[in-house]
Amino acid sequence: MGLGILKDGQWVSQRDQEDSEGKFIRPSTTFRNHITSDGSSGLKAEAGRYHLYISWACPWACRTAIIRQLKGLQDVIGLSVVAAEIDQNSWEFGDEPGCIPDTVNGTQYLWQLYLKADPNYSGRVTVPVLWDIQNATIVNNESREIIRMFDTEFNAFAKQNINFYPQHLQKVIDETIDTIYQPINNGVYRAGFL
Ligand SMILES: N[C@@H](CCC(=O)N[C@@H](CS)C(=O)NCC(=O)O)C(=O)O
């Protein structure tokens, strides 16, 4: 199955995704802004302002949905779910069980969401995506950073008082994630288990 990519704002339905040894290459993510509880980053944690896009087929996206659920943030951060299967047309909203349509932007394909954030975007169109409704753009599409924001910056709104990144475990949590998800060169990442 081939996968597509955005090039200068155009969806192209084929791309190279292997290195010279035939191994899958996972480039680093593009949108890396941060929400903070006090708004000092320029993006303040607020109820109803942010929306999460995932697929249940993606383990990276699932961890963001899991933390949203465990913290009790379902009423604070909205959720849309694309269909579990991806093909050369990108992630697509459907009507299969588990899908939740894009009630914020009304897109059919996830690449359309990326173009709303950046009309000239070039790169992979991946889940998860954390969307800022107020600024109409993508905050962040890196699951490791999204789960940290949900865990640490939204405590004023969270229904569950749980800390998933306690000080005494931070080193071992980071080391474990680094082992699974290793940078190989020039910002190119490869999932350790692939
Ligand atoms: N670094 C990202 C990786 C996300 C990722 O690779 N998602 C995959 C699904 S598991 C994806 O959307 N792939 C679509 C594509 O490569 O076109 C994260 O952890 O959030």
Neighbours of 98 (CB within 10 A): 12
| 134-64-31 Cα angle (round to 5) | 50
Q: What is the pLDDT of residue 168?
A: 97
- CA-CA distances (angstroms) from residue 131 to 4, 6, 54? 22, 18, 11
**Among 58, 64, 138, residue to substitute to test ligand 1 (most atoms within 8 Å of Cβ):** 58
Instruction: Tell me if residue 189 is catalytic.
Output: yes
The phi-psi region of residue 61 (left if phi > 0; otherwise alpha if psi is between -120 and 50; otherwise beta) is alpha
State yes or no: pLDDT of 46 exceeds 70.
yes
The answer to the question of residue 194 being in a domain is no
The answer to the question of residue 47 being in a domain is yes
One-letter amino acid at 91 equals W
- Ligand 1 centroid, distance to 78 Cα (angstroms): 20
Arithmetic mean of pLDDT, 142-153: 96
- Domain extent, residue 173, equals 5-189
Q: What is the pLDDT of residue 17?
A: 63
Full-model pTM: 0.91
The answer to the question of residue 76 being in a domain is yes
The answer to the question of residue 75 being in a domain is yes
- Ligand 1 centroid, distance to 59 Cα (angstroms): 9
Q: What is the pLDDT of residue 194?
A: 30
Tens of pLDDT, residues 104-130: 999 999 999 999 999 999 999 999 999
Query: CA 14 to CA 55: how far, in whole Å?
Result: 21
The answer to the question of residue 49 being in a domain is yes
The answer to the question of residue 130 being in a domain is yes
State yes or no: pLDDT of 36 exceeds 50.
yes
Instruction: Tell me if residue 58 is catalytic.
Output: yes
The answer to the question of residue 163 being in a domain is yes
Count of domains observed in the chain: 1
The answer to the question of residue 54 being in a domain is yes
Tens of pLDDT, residues 60-110: 999 999 999 999 999 999 999 999 999 999 999 999 999 999 999 999 999
* CATH code, domain with 168: 3.40.30.10
